[in-house]
Amino acid sequence: MKHTIADLHKKLASQEPAIHTDFKDEMTYGEYLNLDKILTSQNRLSDHHDEMLFIIIHQVSELWMKLALHEMTAAITAIDQNEMNTAFKMLARVSKIQSQIIQAWDVLATMTPSEYLEFRDDLGKASGFQSYQYRLIEFALGYKTKHILKIYEKDAVLHEFLTEAIKQPSIYDVSIRALARAGFEINEQLLDRDFSVTYGGDETVRQAWETVYRNVDQYWELYQLAEKLVDVEDWLQQWRFRHMKTVERIIGFKQGTGGSSGVNYLREVLDHRFFPELWDLRTTL
């Protein structure tokens, strides 16, 4: 015997009499999540079916990036306040978030070059290259690119926010401070430097991390911190790689809509390392 949805609802109501159904004076799930705004924000510029996929994948990725920034910003504060266990939990969550963003590229990759060409021109010069949240993630990890701020001059409030964000210490800067607090002889110029400049490596930092890895029991928290940082960078580079391969699969080596060289640019950034000493010591240990 087949049951309709209405039949199933009646059965559920009889089995679960405590379920609330009257929300005239109560907040609903949709209201709490602002679903009316979220689910009406997919405004296609074309009539092509796959533009919906393109918009949603990028919107979902931006939401995940918002959460990643929420966690990383708090982790930076926690490390600077020597609350390492709190930071570890946050950084572990960041790694899981990154895995979700990586998987999103697999969904976007179901779109073929022919399908994308149907609406690509409608995007004008808009490009994921302009994602300000991605820039904030790079800033939080220590990759500071001042020239990129010009992109955001259209929005004065956003531009000012990013200008301040680029001056803040990265998660690696506060980790270097943690090494100094632990008694390691760290180059003092690193502890209060111009944080708007990308960190390029330092011999005292290399020696400190190598000592940590050779004396794990003695420096367990710093060792854990280092491995959490490596996790985050590892996942970010996988994210970058998956992005690059998805772009190559869909548009080949065409120029990006935002004017970048596309795949060639994405390949170049794969060579950048956020925490150079933590990777170098793998060879020297």
**Would you list which residues are annotated within the binding site?**
54-58, 116, 120, 243, 257
Annotated binding site for substrate: 54-58, 116, 120, 257
Identify the burial level of 72 via C-beta atoms within 10 angstroms of its C-beta, where 0-12 means exposed, 13-18 middle and 19 or more buried: buried
Q: Of 165, 228, 152, 175, whose CA–CA distance to 195 is shortest?
A: 165
One-letter identity of residue 38 = I
Instruction: Give 3-state DSSP helix, strand, coil % of the chain, rounded to 5.
Output: 65, 0, 35
Q: Which H or E run includes 241?
A: helix 220-251
Whether residue 52 contacts residue 145, with contact meaning beta carbons closer than 8 Å, is answered with: no
The 3-state secondary structure of 189-208 reads HHCCCCCCCCCCCCHHHHHH
Q: How far apart are CA 86 and CA 82, in angstroms?
A: 9
Whether residue 235 contacts residue 104, with contact meaning beta carbons closer than 8 Å, is answered with: no
Annotated binding site for heme: 243
